């Protein structure tokens, strides 16, 4: 049941793959985006904004794949973003047209600061562009969303005029973005109530909100939007997105779930898929989740003080307002060991949502056996890490074949590596570095003949315990991008051996940067910044 038949139903519009992917350093390829989209569908989001197809052939392809393949468990709406340009709208339509429920999402700014300085045009022209763009999108699809960008810094009356135009042309959702995270809850609520007064027809369609977190108010502002009457919230897993990010999906869903008696609204999200969605997005984007992050941080359900521990042991609700199993933490009891067979692994992976057969199952089984030899219990989280790691291995251009490191506290460490190039040739390189990880990274540079600057390196443990799998994350800059700027690449690696995990992450980051450089793509996250200034659109 959607919110046309149930007025208390809030639609979850997930923009992890569009606004979220605009975070600096994030660069997801088609396979990774598909993996996230499939998980979002399992999580039960209503709309997946899969990308901004005009920005690159890679983005177009990813949106198209998602539109064609993400149909279960009940097809979510697949949306694609477009400026008011005809070419943007055509690309968006062509990318989503094969989805069972496609949507085009058109935006143009209504604030004077954007109209004057970024668009360098006039209010009259913005009205014309909005009218022509929605009409053009409407020729293709019934489901058209319109966003007046930077609305919260725009004059209410002008935004209302533009929204009325979009509705007149057939927009079925009007989304009000707090693009720069500037508004406050009471102000936003009043703004939206004012909008309803000026545009009564808003009550016949879906009002949506899209809040950024620059002042840490994205979730509070989204809630204010719902109080004013909005019934769609735009959000991202782990709150990723431009600058400080978007409203966090898990916080919004759990807020509506936990305080339902008070708020009186509900979503169709399957809360038990939240933790898994968070881990997948963090792993594939390379963006860690802060330990104290609400709902999905590793301390969100941990109790440190003696008084709290005592209380929780006596009665969980003394210090917990949510049950960890409701968000999918500790929900999975899968534990495999070195005696577990291929079938047990396949079964366990299937429970986690990975359907592996043939060669992929054999490869996963081999990796599982390697890990089970070193680690007594292989848990659901280990398996998830392992399978996502294998997925990346299949996609990487370069592969780390082997490495030798000599490390000592008495002389500088020396590393030699063997790297398989995309054309199959084995390249070797050596380097004496400041530390063993540095020596491996620079030996990889020597083997591949690349000039790279390391931006970030992080090590995390997948689970607790001394024998935990190590998960590493690398962000690097490769010289020689199309615009003369370096190209950014991000990669992750998983292994019981931290040095191996680091080497894997590094070659994957390098492969991603080389791929971007060859395709002449903008650095990840540059899509909107590099988009040409909007020109008046002539209606076709
Ligand atoms: O923040 C914003 O204004 C956006 C729009 C494109 C909806 O992301
Ligand atoms: Zn945004």
274 CA → ligand 1 middle, Å: 24
- From 379, 386, 517, select the one nearest 448 (Cα to Cα): 517
CB of 15 shorter than 6 A to ligand 1: no
Q: Using one digit for the tens of pLDDT, what is the confidence trace for 460-478? A: 888 777 777 888 989 899 9
CATH homologous superfamily, domain 11-285: Aldolase class I (3.20.20.70)
The angle, 0 to 180 degrees and rounded to 10, between the axes of the packed helices 380-395 and 30-43 is 150
- Decide whether any atom of ligand 1 lies within 6 Å of the 107 Cβ: yes
Ligand (nearest to CA of 108):
1
* Residue 84 in contact with ligand 1 by CB distance below 6 A: no
The residue ranges of every structural domain in the chain are 11-285, 300-327, 335-392, 396-519
Q: Are 141 and 93 in contact (CB under 8 A)?
A: yes
Q: Of residues 90 and 23, which shows the higher confidence score?
A: 90
Question: Does the predicted TM-score (pTM) go above 0.75?
Answer: yes
The winner for highest mean pLDDT among 12-16, 324-328, 381-385, 520-524 is 12-16
pLDDT tens-digit series, residues 28-80:
889 889 999 999 999 999 999 999 999 999 999 999 999 999 987 789 999 99
Q: From the alpha carbon of 81, which atom of ligand 1 is closest?
A: 6
Residue with tokens 């807020």, as numbered in its chain: 255
pLDDT of residue 400: 94
DSSP state for residue 170 in the 8-state scheme: T
Do 52 and 59 touch, CB atoms closer than 8 A?
Answer: yes
Q: Which residue has the tokens 């079925």?
A: 172
Q: Can 11-285 and 396-519 be said to share one CATH topology?
A: no
Radius of gyration of the chain from its Cα atoms, rounded to whole angstroms: 24
Does ligand 1 lie within 6 Å of residue 210's CB atom? yes
Question: Which has more pLDDT, 427 or 410?
Answer: 427
What kind of architecture, by CATH, is found in domain 396-519? 2-Layer Sandwich (3.30)
Which ligand 1 atom is at minimum distance from the Cα of 18? 8
Cα–Cα distance measured from residue 83 to residue 109, given in angstroms and rounded to the nearest whole number: 10
Closest by CA position to 49, among listed 175, 183, 153, 142: 175
Residue 437 Cα to ligand 2 middle (Å) = 37
The structure tokens listed for 290 are: 């802060």
Please identify, by atom number, the ligand 1 atom nearest to the C-alpha of residue 147: 7
CB atoms within 10 A of CB 440: 26
Give 475-504 pLDDT, tens digit per residue.
899 988 777 788 888 888 888 899 999 999
DSSP 460: E
> In the prediction, which pLDDT does 332 show?
56
- For residue 262, the CA-to-ligand 2 centroid distance in Å is 28
Ligand 1 centroid from CA 315, angstroms: 44
Q: What pLDDT is attached to residue 390?
A: 77
pLDDT (0 to 100) of residue 4: 65
| Ligand 2 geometric centre to CA of 483 (Å) | 25
Q: What is the pLDDT of residue 479?
A: 87
């Amino acid at each position: 049941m959607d919110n046309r038949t149930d007025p208390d139903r809030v639609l979850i519009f997930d923009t992890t793959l569009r606004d979220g992917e605009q975070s600096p350093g994030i660069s997801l390829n088609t396979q990774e985006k598909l993996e996230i989209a499939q998980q979002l569908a399992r999580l039960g989001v209503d709309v997946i904004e899969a990308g901004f197809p005009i920005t690159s052939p890679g983005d177009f392809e990813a949106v198209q794949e998602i539109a064609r393949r993400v149909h279960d468990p009940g097809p979510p709406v697949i949306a694609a973003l477009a400026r008011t340009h005809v070419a943007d709208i055509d690309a968006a339509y062509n990318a989503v047209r094969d989805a069972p429920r496609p949507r085009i999402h058109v935006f143009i700014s209504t604030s004077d600061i954007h109209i004057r300085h970024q668009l360098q045009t006039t209010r009259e022209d913005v009205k014309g562009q909005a009218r022509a763009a929605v009409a053009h999108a409407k020729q293709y699809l019934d489901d058209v969303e319109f966003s007046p960008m930077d609305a919260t810094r725009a004059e209410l009356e002008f935004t209302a005029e533009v929204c009325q135009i979009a509705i007149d042309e057939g927009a079925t959702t009007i989304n009000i973005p707090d693009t720069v995270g500037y508004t406050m809850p009471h102000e936003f609520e009043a703004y939206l109530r004012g909008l309803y007064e000026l545009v009564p027809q808003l009550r016949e369609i879906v009002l949506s909100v899209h809040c950024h977190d620059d002042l840490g108010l994205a979730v509070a502002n989204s809630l204010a939007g719902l109080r004013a009457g909005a019934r769609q919230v735009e959000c991202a897993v782990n709150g990723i997105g431009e600058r400080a990010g978007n409203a966090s999906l898990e916080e919004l869903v759990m807020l509506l779930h936990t305080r339902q008696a008070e708020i009186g609204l509900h979503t169709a999200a399957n809360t038990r898929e939240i933790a898994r969605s968070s881990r997948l997005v963090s792993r594939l984007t390379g963006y860690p989740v802060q330990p104290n992050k609400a709902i999905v941080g590793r301390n969100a359900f941990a109790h440190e003080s003696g008084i709290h521990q005592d209380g929780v042991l006596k009665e969980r609700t003394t210090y917990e307002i949510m049950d960890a199993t409701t968000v999918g933490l500790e929900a999975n009891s899968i534990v495999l060991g070195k005696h577990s067979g291929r079938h047990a692994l396949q079964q366990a992976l299937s429970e986690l949502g990975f359907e592996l057969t043939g060669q992929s199952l054999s490869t996963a089984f081999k990796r599982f056996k390697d890990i089970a030899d070193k680690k007594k219990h292989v848990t659901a989280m280990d398996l998830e890490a392992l399978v996502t790691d294998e997925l990346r291995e299949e996609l990487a251009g370069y592969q780390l074949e082997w490495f030798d490191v000599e490390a000592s506290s008495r002389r500088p460490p020396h590393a030699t590596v063997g790297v398989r190039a995309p054309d199959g040739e084995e390249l070797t390189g050596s380097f004496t570095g400041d530390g063993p990880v540095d020596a491996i990274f620079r030996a990889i540079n020597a083997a591949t003949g690349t000039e790279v600057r390391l931006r970030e390196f992080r090590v995390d443990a997948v689970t607790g315990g001394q024998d935990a799998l190590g998960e590493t994350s690398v962000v690097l800059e490769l010289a020689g991008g199309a615009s003369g700027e370096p190209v950014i690449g991000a990669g992750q690696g998983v292994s019981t051996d931290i040095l191996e995990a680091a080497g894997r992450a590094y070659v994957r980051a390098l492969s991603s940067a080389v791929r971007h450089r060859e395709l002449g793509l903008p650095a990840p996250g540059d899509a909107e910044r590099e988009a040409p200034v909007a020109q008046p659109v002539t209606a076709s």
